[in-house]
Every structure is written in C-alpha cells, then in structure tokens.
Structure 1
C-alpha cells in the first residue's frame, strides 16, 4: 500500500456544501493520509471535492465562496478557457480527465502540468472509490464542473497571505497604517500556523469564520469584528459624532424639544418602568430598526441585538413623533448611532441604506428563511447554511430530513401554514375549546387566560398562548398531560411537540436560585405543552368524507402553547407570558439589579436567602386573590413598579 496516491495533484479543497461535519472530516483525512496537498483557502484550490451533482449548483456554490469561474459548464460538453482567455489543449484536457493516475505519479496530473487557472469540481465518490481501490481513479466519470478562474476577479481578491503581505508593504511605503498592517500580517500568519497545528477547527469556529467573511464591513453587521475579518472589506463605516448644519441650528431655535416624559427626565432605563403602547407615532422608523435588529440576530451579534432592543423599546414608548436627532439622544438607551440612522431616515424618504443592503443580501435572506422554520433558531440556521451547506428549504428536505429533530420536521412540513396569522376570534375559539377540556378533567373552577400578543391587543397573532390555573393547587398537578390527552382524543391536537412537567416534578414550587441543569426548561419553568392545533370540523366535512373517505381537512394547522400555573403565583405567570420580549427581559433585569431578587414565571425568590417571596398574598387565605387580574397587580406593587396595562407593554 502506498500513501502517495494524490501527492502530485494540485491543491485540493473539500467543499462543505451538502456534507455533514463527519463526512467532510473523513474526506479530508483520507486525502491527507494519501499525500494530497489539502488547502483551506478555496482561492488556491484547483480540485474541489463536493457532494454536488449539478454543474450550475457547483458554480453557484463557488461564487458564494468568492470563487468566480468563466467558461462553459462541464455537462454542456464544450471547451473551457483558462484564466488568460486561452483554450486548454486537447492533450491537456485528456490527460486531466481520462488518464488513469496510477499511484498519483503521472506527471500529466501534477501541479506543474495543470492548465493555468483550471478548476475541476469532483464528486466525493471519487475519493471514496480511489481509497477502496488504492489507486487514483480517472477524474472524468466523477467530474461535475470544469471551468477557469475569472482573471479580472482573481486579481482583485484579498485575504490571502500573499495579498496581506503586499498590503503591508504598500501601506508602510505610504507612511500610514504601519502598525495596523503589521498586526494584520502577524495575525494572519498566527492563524495559519494554528491551522497547521490543528487541521480541523471546531464547527463553531468554522461557522463563525464563514459568517465573518460574508458579513464583515456591511452596514447592517456588527462593528466588533476581528481585525483580520475587517481586512476583507472596504465598506467599514465608522460612527462619527453627530454634526449639525446651519439649517438644523435654526430648527432648534425655532422648535425646542417637547416636554420630556417623566421616565426620560428621570432616565429610567428599564422598559418595565414606563408605558409602551401598541400604536406608536414612531412605528415606521422602528420598523426599519427592527430589520437591522433581525440581521444582528442572524449574524450572531448578541450585543447588537440587545442594544437595538433597548433603543426600539425607548422609541416605542416616546409619546411624540420624533422630529430631530436631539430627541433621540435624550432617550435612555439611544445613542449617536440611532441618531445618525434617524437623520438618514428623514433625508432618505423614510429608508435606510443598511436595510436596503440587508434585504438584497442572498445569504441573509436564506438565513432568515431557515430561522422562520418552527424549531430552528438563529444558531441552527447558521449551522444549516455554513456547516451543512444547505441553501433553501428544498435542500433541507433532500439532504438533511433524517437529521432534523421532530419539532423541526413538523416546522418544515407546515411552514406555509405557520406563516399565516391567527385572528382574535380564532384565538378565542381555541381558548374556549381548551377551557372545556380542562374543566372536563378537573371542575368548573378552572381558570383559562389568553396571554401573549392577544392580551396586548394585537389584531392578529403568530400563535395562541393559553394559561390554565385553579384555586386548588392539587388540580394543576400533572394537569398539562391530562388536557393534552383529552384534546388529542377529539382530534384538536395533531402533534404534541413538547410536553414538559418541570414544575410538577418539583412539587409546583418556585424555581430555586440555583436550579439543577436537568431542572431547566426553556425560557421559563412552568408545565407546558407546545402543540400543533387543527380544528377537526369544517362545514362540508360530512359530504366531503362521503365522496372521499380520505378527504383532507382544509383548516390550517396552528401553533398553540398550553401553560399550567399554580394559583399562588398566577400573577407571575400572567405577567411573564403577557408582556413583550424586551419588557420581560427588563423585568428580570430590574428585579435582579434593583431588588436583588430573581423573577421567573413560577415566582420570585430572594437571591441572598433563596426564600420564596409571596408578593401576591397567597399565604393568608382571608386576603388571598380571588382573580388573576388582582394577583398580577399585587405582583407589580410588590416589585415597586407602577402597574402597566397589557396594551402598554408592547416593547417588541
């Protein structure tokens, strides 16, 4: 056996698209063990191993990686031109595709004999079959695409070690940027050395590097990227101090700021300390900022997501239509960046360049498409794109269906139906049905509360959130499984995706200060079921089934959350599940920073002692709350906060 099967081939790159991490690693191992000149820089590669079968898709994948090719595609059967516009000779082409490269020694297949600029995309089966036969098989039967690197684009590429070194010299000769260029070169060489020592970076690191390459320097991306990543873009846009023109100074003199709300004057930074109505006079500007916030989420900029959430909440709470950047700078949580964006928004007819750029970005569009699948978060969306190499939902079905979780499979199956909004009337119908079944397994004292966007006053909702509770705590023990079984028996629930009884397992006590890892359950720790709902009745059901016993139910599938709360902390559950996302986040922050306590939908505890705090007055039966509305008001009072109506908690 020889280990020199692929030694004389030009640089080889393994394309991750449609390959799992394990498959990619196995291919790289097989090539390396047999002397292949493996590269991790696709611009250096001349043989690209992939799991693709169509030349157009291969060409598109290489473009996404920054490698642009010219010439006709392999399956068209026409000749290809090299990087200088010359056609490779027929002898060169035959040697590349038809000659059996026995033990990799054939000079015709060596890097020296390879036509300049020629790139061949080869199916991964070539590697596997060559390893089985212990000889380098002909490339032709496995070739998906033969083309040449575009010379004009190749000359413009940046980011390789050679280009970085040249940039360093040029910068030094120009008399500026010496330190930054030197650090850039050192960092690049250090990264190259580290890669040599450890050929396989972690999946997380590979995804981060790929995302940095795609998004660094974009106006909608994070400003905290690495120096090496910044070198790949000439579009970095620093934030400058806010300048004012003469006309703006005149505007200030003629139109002073309106009287600031109390929360602005007192610089209250938590959104739970102020009212945020459903309809804001600044909703159009906020809509633009929300798109940038989404891009930050998809590009893994957690700091940016929190910053934009804070700014958006302040803008939504401001009672006046903003007319100047000075107003924005007066708001807690808003800085010069938001002020600059507002100036651009006003001068650009209500549009932002960053939003236009992100809406045109194909990578971000794909990530968002994945993110909207129920069960797929931002991290998983990036993994689908950068690690799995999937480019649309069809790719997920074709190449990765078996690797998806059950929740993700359901989310993909009913993707279009889950995009449909649910009217208030339908939410009420769903709640009434759940209430009926809950009373069936308990008694008439069962309380049913619609929370989420419905309670905040939204005309339509993405899902229905229903809380069940009972004055007798024994009735809520193990209630969620009983209700789900009852609803399933009549066909209302088609799929039960998550059924958690975390609260029941700890005897319905408030979450401890330091819970055990197995005791955690998502963003809160109440018993809950996340289910797929479909009304089993429709007007023509009887006649439809008479004609076709397998007639399809035309009612759309809906996402429904059924939450169970003990009565002693029902106010915490209702407040947690009603309020907007930023309101919830700030409520937890406020309770921690100001009170030294811990808030959870299951109750409040003192961080110093771990004791449960009975803010709703449950212990005294004589004064115990008779309804959940009063319990929620007592919670706000116990926290030292002014009570906010549900429609004043619309922070987004």
Structure 2
C-alpha cells in the first residue's frame, strides 16, 4: 500500500465475500477504536443508507454542516491535530514543496480541508480511483454523508449498558480488570498542581452482576451469525412479551417512514425470537446480533415497567393515532398516510367526503372493508378457502397442487390474510391460468362484485407467463420486474356466499392472495411466500454475500456472467414429487439446514 491513507473503515455492504476479502487484503487494518476512523468507504450512494451504516458501527449520526465549525472549534473541546491543506485531497499549490499560496488559494484550500472532528461516508469510487492514479484524490466529490464526532466526556458517570457488557466480556475471559494509568477512570493528570479537586467516589462494585454473568447460558451457535435464515425461530419464543412490544414500536416506525429504524428493530426482533432461553438480565440482550446498547436499555425499561416509553408517548399523540389509522388502510403506504394527514383529513369519513375521487381503487376497497380486513382469520376458514381455490383450479386442469403459505404455514392460529401457492407438473396448465381461475371464482360468487359490476380484484398480473414462465432475469430492468411481482398472481377480496337467515350476507370480507408458479421453480415460490419478512431478507443477503446468487420467488440465478438460472429443484434427481420436496432441495442446494415453516417466524 503506497498511499498514506487516513484512518478508514471498509463497509462490506453490497459486496460479495470474495470482493470484501480482496479489498481487505489491499487496505491497512482499521483502528481498533472505531471512534478514530475519519472515513468510511463503501458501495453506497444514499444518505439514509450511510446513516444506517454509521449507526450499526456505533458511530455518531449527527449531520455536520459548515455552520457547526465554531462549535467544533470551541475552547472547551480538546485541541485536534491541524490537518494540512493537502490531506485527504489534492495539493493546494502547484508542487508538493511549494509553501506559498495566494489569499484566494488559501481560501479555496480551506474549503477543501477535512472538516474538524467529523467522520465521512465516501463512495468506494474515491478509493478505487485514488489507488489507480497513485495519489489521494479530493474526497469531496465522492462524499455521501458527513457526521460530527461526539466529544469524549471527561466526567465520570454511572456505568451504562456498554460498560456492563465490557465487564461481562472481561469476567468471561477471566480478566483481573487491572487498569493501566491511562485506563484509570480518574487519571492523575486531572489533579495537577494548583488544582484542589476532590476525586470522585468509586462506584460500588456489586457481586450480583458477576453472578448474573456467570449464570448466563452460552450463546447458541445459530446466534453467532447475522443471517436469521440459519436459525430456528418459532412463533411463540420464550421472550414473546418483550418481542411483541418491539413489534409495536416497529409498526410505529414503519407508519412514520423510518426505514432505518424498521430494519434495526427487525434484526433485533429476529435475534430475540431465536434466543431459546428466557432473558433474565439486560446483559443477555447485549450479547445477541443486532441488539446493541439501545435494545439493552429498552429491555431494562420493559423489565421495570412492562412497557416502553415510545409506545406510551404514541398512545397519547393524536397525530400518530390518525396516521396509524390511515396506514392500516389496505393499499396505503406510510408516505400516503402522512399525505392524507397533511391534507387535513383526520378519519376515514374525511377521506370519503373530501378525497374519494383522489384515491385509487385499491384504497377505496381498503376503506370500504376497513374493519373487516382488520379481523383475523382462523385456521379452519383459511383451510376452507384453500380447498375451494384448489377445487376450481382442478376444474381448469386436473392435477394441481396447492400449499397454504404465509403465517398459516408458520403455525399462526390466526392470519391477517390467506396466501396460497398453486402449481402443476405440466407447465401448460399454469401458463396464463390466473385470469381463468379468478373468473371461475367470480362466477361462483366467492370473489365479490362492486356496485359498478367490477370484481373486487386488488391486483392481478401475469408477469411470469409474459416471459414464458422463465425465472426472472438477473438484471433489475428486465420486463416484469423483480421480487414481489415476478410470479402470476391475483390479490382479491373474498366472501363466502353461503349464509342463512338474513337478507344480507353476514360473512366477513377477506383478503386472499393466489400465486401461480411453474413446477420447475415451485420450491423457490413456496420458500419465498412462506418465510417471515426478516428470514426472506436474510436469505437474499445470504445468497448474495455467501453464494454469489440472486434468490427470487421465481427462481435462482448466478451473479456471475452469463447469470444462468441455477436449478436446485431438479438438480439431476428428476422433478420433485411435492412442493415441500422442492423446497427442501432449495435449502440443500444453498447449503442451508432445512428449517420447517414453524421455525421461520423471525417477525
């Protein structure tokens, strides 16, 4: 490494394992104390993503602006090393040895200097081009985000969760906890000549903490990885009460558009849900992946009161209450819910009176059946709906297979909607059959009609048939899109037409999703639609980072040119006999331990 690089940290985000290893080999070791890092380099370009990555590393996320220079240069802060005009950027003068600059050059140079006391998130292109040109380029053209480094406090405070975790690691390792002079909490440099300062009292040392640490169960092997798809996670974990509170907070964050918070809470929920022991102390929480000091504090709060302050504050906030009501309308996103609020609407009646012609048809249906859609569906009703769908599919072609997926397959006693995957060993049977199936169910009056004689079909697509039932392309720009829209499907409103003793059908309206998959990739379809959201997210991340593959509910492709479809479901063994067998073969092909559906409840 010929370049004199500043203290930096390389983000593995969006890199394969091979890429990350290659870059790590070319760079010096990052500082052991990440607070010393000046630059974080990665394959990211979005401000929000940069904030999320800094938060994961435990670095500050308070955004730097030039107006804060005066605050950073305050005499109350420790003096920092002056940064030369050329550091982290191009030289100021025409040569390395020239020390004279004009006033205008000096002013220009000042704007190019690294801002004091900050950490910068910079695109990887800066490092790539600096290495290729053999000199450090000015990072300002590549910067994504810049945050102010928090000053280190001088005063002593009561040990917090991070201090307790450090003590836990030291005790577990058999440390004597002997402090060097520079590590001592009250260094004698603070008691220099002429200063009659009384040393603060020592914090009492409790053997209760050491007893708690010693009695903690070992961390299971499956929780030594960040991939929740490698863990067993059941629907009713030992710490379900605390997990449910975190889910409520995550719902609040989702309704407010806090994607970073949603992801952070999802990771913590997945770890806590997989932890097989009842948590006895906050120290246990801090050991788990995705559960930093924030969740240690939340557990302490829950342990003391059985509640979380954020939820209590939200319950008394009328604005949040209104936004949550709007967010629970089928077809309304967090951004749309907040837009409704900005328009001055405060309940569903306001939308009907002032905005009915401004909203789309799915949202109209969501408002019309708002209360019914919030009702949960018992397993017996789910099974009845599934059997009717299979019956009508077999009227089109004998030999269809059906699996109920979603929360039902994971073992939930009640579901929010009904999701089913249909397939047939003969691909001619699944080709463009979704509209025929929906029409058959409409004629039997299971899919209801609106006053305008249009079926309550929230969404219908034939993307998979339109591309010949092939797995989706590796490229995101491929017609038919990626992810959720890659299979033929119909999202419909369902109502059982059979009832007695009333002029009006009393049966509740239900949301039903019917997914059609060709047989050769049905294992991917069942896996994708069965597993909980965080399990699916980590499965895709595992495929990308560990296997250099792209997972999709319509199939798996290599991330290496020519980006071929990877057939794990046949794999030379012949077509699978059942959908579950196809799904098991996908697990095996990916090198993952088979997890039955009831062990994929990551939340």
Shorter-chain TM-score above 0.5: yes
Tell me if the contact between 1:497 and 1:532 (Cα under 8 Å) persists in the aligned partners: yes
SS, match of residue 595 in structure 1: coil
Tell me if the contact between 1:242 and 1:340 (Cα under 8 Å) persists in the aligned partners: no
SS, match of residue 508 in structure 2: coil
Tell me if the contact between 1:469 and 1:565 (Cα under 8 Å) persists in the aligned partners: yes
Partner of 1:151: none
Counterpart of 1:503 (choices 437, 452, 464) is: 464
SS, match of residue 216 in structure 2: coil
SS, match of residue 289 in structure 1: helix
Partner of 1:335: 292
Task: For residues 517-551 of structure 1, give each alpha carbon's deviation from its aligned partner in whole angstroms, at most 9, with x where no partner exists.
Answer: 652266241000000000111133xxx4xxxxxx3
Task: For residues 64-109 of structure 1, give each alpha carbon's deviation from its aligned partner in whole angstroms, at most 9, with x where no partner exists.
Answer: xxxxxxxxxxxxxxxxxxxxxxxxxxxxxxxxxxxxxxxxxxxxxx
Counterpart of 1:493 (choices 415, 426, 447) is: 447
Give distance in 2, aligned partners of 1:461 and 1:473. 30
Tell me if the contact between 1:573 and 1:602 (Cα under 8 Å) persists in the aligned partners: yes
Tell me if the contact between 1:617 and 1:624 (Cα under 8 Å) persists in the aligned partners: yes
SS, match of residue 493 in structure 1: coil
Counterpart of 1:378 (choices 334, 350, 354) is: 334
Report how far residue 422 of structure 1 moved: 0.6
SS, match of residue 305 in structure 2: coil
Give distance in 1, aligned partners of 2:216 and 2:517. 46
Counterpart of 2:208 (choices 228, 250, 259) is: 250
Q: Say if 1:352 and 1:247 are closer, same or farther in 2 by CA, change over 3 A.
A: farther
Partner of 1:460: 414
Confirm or deny that 1:366 pairs with 2:322: yes
Partner of 1:627: 578
Q: Say if 1:500 and 1:249 are closer, same or farther in 2 by CA, change over 3 A.
A: farther
Confirm or deny that 1:428 pairs with 2:377: no
Partner of 2:183: none
Confirm or deny that 1:572 pairs with 2:524: yes
Number of aligned positions between the proteins: 413
Report how far residue 327 of structure 1 moved: 1.2
Report how far residue 251 of structure 1 moved: 3.7
**TM-score scaled by structure 2?**
0.65
Report how far residue 330 of structure 1 moved: 1.2
Q: What is the root-mean-square deviation of aligned Cα atoms in Å?
A: 2.7
Partner of 1:615: 568
SS, match of residue 594 in structure 2: coil
Partner of 2:265: 308
Counterpart of 2:427 (choices 458, 469, 473) is: 473
Counterpart of 2:235 (choices 236, 254, 278) is: 278
Give distance in 2, aligned partners of 1:356 and 1:362. 12
Report how far residue 176 of structure 1 moved: 7.1
Give distance in 1, aligned partners of 2:205 and 2:296. 17
Please list every run of 5 or more consecutive structure 1 residues that lacks an aligned counterpart in the other structure. 1-164, 178-224, 228-238, 545-550
Alignment of 1:176-325 (within 5 A): 242=162, 244=164, 249-253=207-211, 255-264=214-223, 267-325=224-282
Give distance in 2, aligned partners of 1:380 and 1:316. 31
Q: Say if 1:385 and 1:627 are closer, same or farther in 2 by CA, change over 3 A.
A: same
Give distance in 1, aligned partners of 2:574 and 2:419. 29
SS, match of residue 466 in structure 1: strand
Confirm or deny that 1:442 pairs with 2:394: no
Give distance in 2, aligned partners of 1:337 and 1:516. 39
**TM-score scaled by structure 1?**
0.60
Partner of 1:530: 491
Tell me if the contact between 2:551 and 2:557 (Cα under 8 Å) persists in the aligned partners: yes
Tell me if the contact between 1:524 and 1:601 (Cα under 8 Å) persists in the aligned partners: no
Give distance in 1, aligned partners of 2:258 and 2:516. 34
SS, match of residue 233 in structure 2: coil
Task: For residues 436-485 of structure 1, give each alpha carbon's deviation from its aligned partner in whole angstroms, at most 9, with x where no partner exists.
Answer: 10000111x11011111110010000000011100011110011111100
